[in-house]
A = this chain, B = another copy of it.
Amino acid sequence: MNPVAHIVDQDDPRIAPYRAIRERDLVGREGRFIAEGKVVLNVLFNSRRFEVESVLILEQRLVGMQQTLATAPVDMPVYVATQSVLDAIAGFHIHRGILALGRKRPAEDANALLSGLPDQALVVALVGISNHDNVGAIFRNAAAFNADAVLLDASSCDPLYRKAIRVSVGAVLQVPYAVLPTHQDISKTLAEHDFRQLALSPSGKDDIGALAAARRNALYLGTEGEGLPPLLMDQMQTVRIPMSESFDSLNVAAASAIALHRLWHGA
């Protein structure tokens, strides 16, 4: 049974990391992040790549959380508060009433990550995807289709942003990922590990549905506005999702769902 402490003062130092969490996303967080909701907490407690420092929940949620908390480290503190104290701490209304403070273990090296993958593997490469919702949604799709890893360039958003975690329904805590400085670094690393590298773009050459099978696939996704850098497109096989010519294009998360479904090796 975890130690439970009632928090009655929003300035209690024990819950300082939960204060003003919207703003906190914007500053250095030293590997710490806020996870929300029961489903995400279940993923977090079962992840070996992340630690949980504490949880902060609405007092009336404590009973319903017992099963989830049973999988938490035994000495992890559980803080409970009333809705008004909780909202005052967070800086906005915490609808679900369930928060956790996680911490990333030392960052994974992309090379080590790829070295540990099975012979048949699927990797997603994100270039310049700065929208939190899109990064979260792409991770969710990656988890649904068993992607083995996600590589991000430094201009993509941190998957541990609160909103990215929430939209991913915890998938950012489940699918291993690594950040590399540029897309050139990503493509060099993938080449060393013998991946077929596919750049997805509305102007791509080959129909994603008509590709020959390959043992190891890496799917590159870029921003909706500018797309993938022309230099990157020139260097690799480009693929497209055929669609109506009368409509602009798919959202990048929707496009990733279709492409990953096509590249999935099956259960």
Contacts and interface: CB of A to CB of B under 8 A. Distances in A.
A245 B264 CA distance: 13
Interface stretch (A73-81, A142-150, A185-193): A142-150
B261 A241 contact: yes
Contact of A140 (B39, B245, B246, B250): B250
A182 B171 CA distance: 34
**Interface of chain A, helix or strand or loop or mixed?**
loop
Copies in the complex: 2
A253 interface: yes
B244 A267 contact: yes
A140 B254 contact: yes
A8 interface: no
Interface of A: 39, 137, 140-141, 143-146, 169, 171, 174, 241-251, 253-255, 257-258, 261, 264, 266-267
18 contacts: A137-B251, A140-B247, A140-B251, A141-B254, A143-B247, A144-B243, A144-B249, A144-B254, A145-B244, A171-B247, A241-B261, A242-B266, A242-B267, A253-B253, A257-B257, A257-B258, A258-B258, A258-B261
